[in-house]
């Protein structure tokens, strides 16, 4: 499997972006392009070949089409196809690496993106992509800089998700449980229950809870509350929010229960944590 990387000391250079929607039979034209292309599929399957290697990019997956390498659609899509795309460049060349069971990371701080990967958090990548598209439709004094930094943030998010996935793979956490963990962290501010979380992924609650404990060593509800406590710690760093507001803002429905859990998880009370904030 290939991955691409380059130095991230400077922001990437945005060119253009958009979204494609096709009802049926989409076939990407053949070309060798001067820009790198990032495609993130939302619906359907994109069949595309790069450097004579064929890819079927499914929903929640992305592909990087490297500048100067020929790519083309090798088979029309079946049914609806929707994806987000962006063209970009960088001031430093993108190197190509290969990884199998292990990956030697570049020493320099880098953008590092698989040629064909799967999103660990579809919500975050989709949000950042749509934010980029929204910025591209604005005309302000800082539009060019905003677009370059928004593109860089998107690439950094993909890099971080990729590295998180490698860490979890090395610690025997499956893609399914990793996705559940990321979803919980993104939604823990809501009043969730175990059956609701399991239903989101079409699992039996007892089975999902057992699988989660087996792979992570934590009970699912423990992880949910831990994620909520982390959010509340950030909220408490602001003196403009009360402890009650912090509790309710991160998904707890009972202030006293929140304070009890906080002491259990952190070894100190919310008030003690707040007093340590500058």
**Predicted confidence (pLDDT) per residue in 85-121, tens digit:** 999 999 988 888 876 545 566 556 688 898 998 887 7
Please tell me whether residues 142 and 198 are part of one structural domain: no
Q: What is the pLDDT averaged over residues 180-207? A: 90
Please tell me whether residues 153 and 194 are part of one structural domain: no
Domain around 195:
175-276
Q: How far is 48 from 57, CA to CA, in rounded Å?
A: 8
Does the pTM exceed 0.75? no
Tokens linked to 28: 């990407």
3-state DSSP assignment of residue 5: strand
Burial 180-216 (b: 16+ CB within 10 A, else e): bbbbbbebbbeebebeebbeeeebeeeebbebbeebb
Please tell me whether residues 20 and 134 are part of one structural domain: yes
DSSP H/E element including 166: helix 143-170
How much is the pLDDT for 101?
45
Q: What is the CATH number of the domain that holds 51?
A: 2.60.120.280
**Predicted confidence (pLDDT) per residue in 245-273, tens digit:** 889 888 898 999 999 999 998 888 988 88
Please tell me whether residues 84 and 132 are part of one structural domain: yes
């Amino acid at each position: 499997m290939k991955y691409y990387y380059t130095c991230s000391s400077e922001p990437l250079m945005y060119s253009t972006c958009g979204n494609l929607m096709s009802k049926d039979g989409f076939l990407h034209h053949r070309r060798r392009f001067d820009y790198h292309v990032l495609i993130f599929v939302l619906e359907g399957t994109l069949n595309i070949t790069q450097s004579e290697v064929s890819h079927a990019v499914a929903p929640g997956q992305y592909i990087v089409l490297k500048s100067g390498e020929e790519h083309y659609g090798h088979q029309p899509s079946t049914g609806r196809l929707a994806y987000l795309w962006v063209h970009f460049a960088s001031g430093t060349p993108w190197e190509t690496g290969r990884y199998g069971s292990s990956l030697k990371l570049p020493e320099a701080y880098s953008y590092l993106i698989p040629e064909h990967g799967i999103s660990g958090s579809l919500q975050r990548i989709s949000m950042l992509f749509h934010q980029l598209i929204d910025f591209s439709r604005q005309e302000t004094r800082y539009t060019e800089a905003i677009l370059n930094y928004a593109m860089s943030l998107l690439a950094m998010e993909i890099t971080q998700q990729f590295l998180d996935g490698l860490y979890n793979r090395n610690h025997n956490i499956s893609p399914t449980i990793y996705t559940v963990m990321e979803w919980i962290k993104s939604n823990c501010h809501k009043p969730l229950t175990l059956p609701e979380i399991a239903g989101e992924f079409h699992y039996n609650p007892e089975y999902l809870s057992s699988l989660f404990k087996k792979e992570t060593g934590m009970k699912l509800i423990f992880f949910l509350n831990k994620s909520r406590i982390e959010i509340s710690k950030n909220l408490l760093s602001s003196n403009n929010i009360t402890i009650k507001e912090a509790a309710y803002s991160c998904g707890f429905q009972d202030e006293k229960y929140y304070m009890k859990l906080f002491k259990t998880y952190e070894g100190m009370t919310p008030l003690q944590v707040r007093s340590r904030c500058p």
